[in-house]
Chain A
Amino acid sequence: MKNIDSKSHVRGESVYLDDIPVVQGTLYACVFDSPVAHGKLKSIDKSAAEKSEGVFRVITAKDIVGENQIGGIVPDEPLLADDEVHFQGMPIAIVLATSEALAHKAAKLITAEIDELEVVTDPRVAAANGDLIVPPKKFVMGDTAAAFANCVHIFEGKTEQNGQEHLYIETQGAYAVPMENGGMRVYSSTQGPTAVQRAVCRVTGLAMHQVEVDVQRLGGGFGGKEDQANAWAGIVAVATQLTKRPVKYALHRMEDMRATGKRHPYSSDYKIGLDKDLKIIAYEASFFQNAGASCDLSPPVLERTLFHCTNSYFIPNVTATAYCCRTNLPPNTAFRGFGGPQGMFVIESAIAHAAEKLGVSPVEIQKKNLLQTGDEFPYGQIADSEAVTSWTQADDKYDFAKLQQEADEFNAKSKYLKKGVALMPICFGISFTKTPMNQARSLVHVYTDGSVAVSTGAVEMGQGVNTKMAQVAAKMFGLDIGHVRVHTTNTLRIANTSPTAASAAADLNGKATQLACETIRDRLFEIALPLVEAVSVEELSLENGFVHRNGEKTSLEWQTLVMEAHLQRVSLSEHSHYATPGIGFDWTTAKGHPFAYHVYGTAIVGVTVDCLRGRYEVDYVKCCHDFGTSMNTAVDLGQIEGGIVQGLGWVTMEEVVYDEKGKLRSNALSTYKVPDIYSVPKDIAVLALETDRNNLAIFNSKAVGEPPLMYGIGAYFAIRNAVKAFTDCSPAFDLPFTPEKVLMNLYE
C-alpha cells in the first residue's frame, strides 16, 4: 500500500500553502525583524516603507487588537516586539503590499532604534545568571551518592550538542481570508491547527468559533511547525483583522532560517559508576538546555531528555537534573525525537568514555546493561522490554563481531582510510508526556453512494498518516482504499486537536477513526440482519464490498446496505473520541506511567574516515527495529530510512552556527548542509523485530515517526572509533562531528 498522495505528488498536483488559489484583493506580508539579538526598542521608523510602491499599511505592536502574546506554555513571546527585542529575527513590524516583491522591498526601508543589551548565547551562562524559563526538573531513582561509594569505576565528563535546523523544504507560511461577522479562515502550514487557532484568537481577540484553521498538508514539518507556525498565522490574522483583506505570507528561506527556532543545543555533565563486572550502578547527569529567547515547547522537550536519559539501559541509581536556560537565540523548539536524542547521546558518551578508560569495547558495557522486562525506568514505569531481543536479533542477523573484525582487518592494511563500527540501541516512549494531550477525534461520513469521508486531527506532512487513516476506514468497512477520502485537517470539523507530534498521530487518530467506523458498522449490521437472514451481528462481517455471513459472501452489497440504512433514517455519520487508557504522570513525585508503550531497536553503524582529508562516508546502518505489526511497511520503511538519515545529519554535517552577537551565520542552504544523496549510508538494512506482544497502538502497529532518528547517533561513535584507529586520541563528545573536528582530532 503506497502513500495515497503519491500520484498527486509526482504529478505536481498536490496543494501546499503557496499553491492555494489566491483570492482577489490579497495583500502580501513581509516582516521587518530585529537586526540585534537583545536590546531596548526605542523607536521604529516606518515612514519610508509606508510611502514605498504598492504598500497598503505597516503594522506594529501597538496596532494589535487582541493580546500581543503567542506563548503557549509561558506567556513570554510577543507576536511583535514591543519594548524589547530578544533575538535576531524577532518580528517588529508587518509590511502589507500588493505583491510579495513590493512587500519585501518596503520592509528593507524600515529602521529601528535599539539600545543594545548583553547578548547571551551559552546556556551555562544563562544558568549561572539564574535565567531559567521554568524551575529545574529532576528525576531521582535509588541513591546515587551512596551507590557511587560502591562503584569500582567512576568517570566524569562533559558533552556538547549543537542544534539542528528542520529544513522542511516548504518554508513556514499562512494565508488568512476574512469571513462574515469578523471571523476568518486561516490556511496554515502547521502541525498544530488548534495551537494556531488559539494563537490567532489571542492576538485578534476573536472567539475560537470565529476562526477556522485549515491544513491540507505540509511540505515537511519534523517538529518545526508544531509551535513555530503560530507566529506567521498570527501575523496574517492581525493583518486581516486590521485591513479586512486576505493576507498571505510564505516565508523566504533565509527569513525562515533566521526567525525560527531549531533543535535545542545542550551542554551536559555526566558521572557514571560501574562495578567490577561492568554493570552500571549509578548515573548522574545535568542537562543545560539552550531554550532560546522564549519558552515555546522547551519544558516538555527538557522533560523528554530526562525520560530518555538512560536510553535502553537499566541503571538502579539515577539522578538527572535539567535546566531550561533562556538565551538570545530564536526560541528553540520541537524536532523529531523532542529532547530524547539529547538525553541518549549523553549516556552513550558516558559509556564510550568508560570503555575507553577501561580498555574494553563499549559494546560490552552496552550489552551488559540492557533493560529487561520488569526493570524500572527512573520515572517509575516498569519496562515491557524488547531491548535484549532487538539486540540479539540484530546480532544474529548482521553479526556484529564479524563486522568489527572486518573493520579491524581493513584498518591494519590501510594507511589513510579507517573504518569504525558502533552499536546504537534505542528505547523511545510513545505518548505525549503531558497526559491530557493523549486524546483525538475523528469524523467519519458514509455517503449514500457508498463513498467514505474521514476527517481527523492528524496533519499529513509526508509521514503517511492520511494513508493510515484511510487504511483504518477501508479495513473497518471492508472496502478498497479508493472508496475512502481523507480530508483536510480543519478546526470546524475536528475541534480541540493535539498537534501532530510525538509519533502519536496515527495511534490516537487511528483509534478514534476505528471507533467511529465501528459505530457506523454496528448500525449497518442491524440493518443487514434481516436482509441476509442472519440471527446475530456476530455472524456478520464486511469484506470486499459485500456483507459476509459466517465468512461467506452474501449478495448484499455495501452500497445497497448504505442506501437502505439511509432510507430507514439511520445515521451514516459518526464523530468519535479516543483517549489513551492507563497512562499518567505525577510531577510532584516525578513518577508515573507516562507512556502507552516503548519502541525498541538496535542499529549497527559502520563508517569509513579518509584520514588524509578528514572526510567520511557512512557504509551501512543495519538495524533490528520494533514495528509491532506494521500497518504499512512501505510507509514505515520510509520513516525509518528518513529518520536514520536525519539523525546522521545531526551528528555529522549539520552545524548551526551563531556568532557571539546571536547572529545566525549558517543562514541559508549554502552554509547549512543537510544530507544529499551521496552522504547517505550506502546500505540501510532494516530487520523487523519479531514479537507478538500486544500494545496500545492502532492494530498493534507501533509508532515509527521519531525512534529511528536516534540510530543516527551511532554514526558519531563509529566516526570516533575510526579516528581513534588512526591515531591515539580521545575526541571530545561534541556534536556534530564535522570534517573540521575529524581533521583537528586526527592531527592536532
Chain B
Amino acid sequence: MIDFILNDQDICTGQPPGTTVLDFVRYHKDLKGTKIGCREGDCGACTVMVGELVGDQVKYRTMTSCLMPLANAAGKHIVTVEGINPPDGSMTPVQQAMVDESGTQCGFCTVGFVMSLTNFCVDDTAKTREMAVSAIDGNICRCTGYKSIERAGSVVSGQLSVVSSLTDVADKLDLAIKSKVVPSYFSGIKERLAKVSEKSNRQPTTDNRQLQFVSGGTDLYVQHPEHMAESDTTPLLYDEQLRGIRDVGEHIEIGGSATVTDLLVSPVMQSVFPHLYKHLKLVSSTPIRNMATLAGNFVNASPIGDMTVWFLALDASIVLSVASASADASAERDIKLRDLYLGYKQLAKQPDEMITAIRFKKPGGDFRFNFEKVCKRTYLDIATVNTAISLSVASASADAFTITDAHVSAGGVAPIPFYLKETSAFLTGKIVTEATIAAANEIMQSEISPISDVRGTESYKRLLLRQLFRAHFYEVFGA
C-alpha cells in the first residue's frame, strides 16, 4: 500500500506503484483539472505541486505527474488544482491574475501554469518577475504567445514582494494561506505528513528481485510507459541515504538521487560554479529538474545527457553499490564516470548495481568551468550538441594563461556521452592562444563520430562543437 496526502485527503492505495500520479488523479480520483498533453514531461499540462517534509518544514516543488510513479508520491503531499481552488467557488490571487491578464485562451494548458505559479508563491526562490517566468519555464502554451502569462506572473511576483523579506518556508506558507494563495488546510499538512511519512518509511515486505529501480522517472516513463505502469518499482528519488551534496575535504560528494534542482540550490555547488544558475537553466525545465536525478541521467547513458557531460568534464567518479539489502558494504566500488560507458546504452555496471554517490575533486587555485548547449529551442530542449570544460590555469600575466589541467567532454557527437581524452590531454600544459584552440579543434574533430539525425546533420554537429569549443574559451578567458 502507498500512503500519501492528495489535496486534503489521506490516501492509502493498493494501485500498482508504477501507476503514474496523472492517471491516478484523473481516472481513479476523478480530478479532471490535471490535463494530459504529451505524457513525456514536455508540455507541463499535468503539473502538480509535491510537498515534502524537510526538517520541520514542508517544501513544495512542481513535478509533471505524467512521469511520476505513485511510488514517488509515498509520504508526500500531492496538490492538484482541486486542492487549491477556494471552496467558495472564487479564485486564488494566482488564478485572478491569470484571468485579469487574459493569460488563458483555450484553457487546456492553463491549470499547469496556475500550479507552477502557485508553487512559485510558496517556494524559496526570489519573488521577482524573472523568477516568476522561470517557474513556468516547463509549461507550454500554444494559444497566448505567453505575453499575457508573463504579465500575470509579474502581477503575482509583485504581490509577493512582502514574502521576499521572509526567508522561512513556514512563514511563506502562513502568508500564502492568509493571502488565500492556498486554502487553510495547508496549515495542517506538516503534522499530517509527519504521520504519513512514518507509515511510508516502513520496510517493504516484498523482496526486490524485480529490480526495476526508478528515481525521477523522467526518462523511464518516456521510453517505456507501459512497462513502467505495470512494474513493481523500487523508488530511489526520495531515499534519504542517496541524497545530499557535501563538501568532504578533498572532494565534493553528491548522492545519486540528488536532483538537478538540488544542485541548483546547493551552496556547495554555487561556490564552485559561479554560473551555476545560467548553465543549469539550459537543462530541461523546472519540473523536470525537480525530478531528474544525477544517477538517472548517468545510467540512462543518453549520448546527449546534460549532467553526464557536465560531470565528465569534472572527471568525476561514481560509487556503484549492489542494491539488495543483504549485500554487504564491500560490494561497493568506485569507477571513473568516463569508464561507465562501453558503447551505445551499454554500461560497465551490473543490473543489480546502482549509483549511490558521485565524487569530484574540489577545485583549488585558478579553476575555470564552462558549459555550452545548443538545441533547436534554447530552453526546455534536448541538446544537438552540448559540451563542458574544466581548466586549471596558471597565469604569468593578466593575459597569458597556461593550462595546467584540462578536461573536456561533449554530447551528441558519439554513441556515448563523450570524454574528449585526446583533446584534454593536448590542452594540458599549453598556453591559451588562437593557435592552441585551432589545434585542439583538429584533434577534437578526429576524436568524435557524430551521425545525422533529427537533431542535426553530421557536418552541423561538427561545426557546432567547433564553435562551442571556441565559446568555452570566449566565456572563460574573455574575447
Contact = CB atoms under 8 A, between A and B. Distances in A.
Do A and B share a complex? yes
B102 A10 contact: no
Contact of A614 (B80, B85, B374, B381): B374
Given A2-B100, A10-B104, A220-B108, A678 B140 contact: no
B80 to A, nearest CB: 8
A635 interface: yes
B226 A220 contact: no
Given A676-B379, A679-B377, A740-B457, A253 B40 contact: yes
A104 B230 CA distance: 14
Interface stretch (A13-21, A353-361, A367-375, A469-477): A13-21
Interface in A400-420: 415-416
A461 B106 contact: yes
B374 A638 contact: no
A677 B98 contact: no
B479 A635 contact: no
Interface string A116-150: 00000000000000000000000000000000000
A382 interface: no
Contacts of B104: 3, 5-6, 9-10
Interface string A460-472: 0111100000000
B218 to A, nearest CB: 11
B363 interface: no
A617 to B, nearest CB: 8
B143 interface: yes
B111 A169 contact: no
B37 interface: yes
B149 A6 contact: no
A612 B474 contact: yes
User: How many interface residues does chain B have, given as a range?
Assistant: 35 or more
Contacts of B463: 743-744, 747-748
Nearest to B474: A612
Interface stretch (A423-431, A482-490, A496-504, A662-670): A662-670
Contacts of A668: 38, 40, 42
Interface stretch (B163-171, B261-269, B464-472): B464-472
Give the one of A101, A253, A638 with max B CB within 10 A: A638
Interface stretch (A227-235, A304-312, A641-649): A641-649
Interface string A1-42: 011011111111111101100000000000000000000000
B452 to A, nearest CB: 10
A677 B35 contact: no
A14 B104 CA distance: 12
A655 interface: yes
A678 B379 contact: yes
Contacts of A740: 376, 384, 456-457, 460, 464
A717 interface: no
A518 interface: no
A493 interface: no
Contacts of A665: 453-454
A9 to B, nearest CB: 3
Given A11-B91, A101-B229, A253-B38, A2 B102 contact: yes
A740 B45 CA distance: 29
A10 B98 contact: yes
A615 B378 contact: yes
B355 interface: no
A669 B42 contact: yes
Contacts of A220: 106, 108, 142-143
Contacts of A114: none
Interface string B322-359: 00000000000000000000000000000000000000
Nearest to A641: B145
B158 interface: no
Contact of B378 (A218, A222, A666, A678): A678
B274 interface: no
Given A7-B99, A169-B140, A613 B150 contact: no
Interface in A646-687: 646, 653, 655, 657, 665-666, 668-671, 673-680, 684
Given A11-B85, A671-B454, A2 B99 contact: yes
Give the one of B82, B95, B467 with max A CB within 10 A: B467
Contacts of B379: 676, 678-679
B107 A743 contact: no
B39 A653 contact: no
Given A3-B102, A634-B102, A744-B460, A739 B142 contact: no
A170 interface: yes
Contacts of A699: none
17 contacts: A3-B105, A6-B98, A9-B111, A168-B142, A171-B36, A463-B105, A614-B467, A617-B378, A634-B102, A635-B102, A641-B145, A669-B43, A676-B379, A677-B133, A677-B137, A680-B146, A743-B460
Shortest 10 CB-CB contacts between residues of A and residues of B: A12-B33, A462-B106, A219-B108, A9-B107, A645-B145, A462-B105, A669-B42, A641-B145, A12-B81, A10-B95
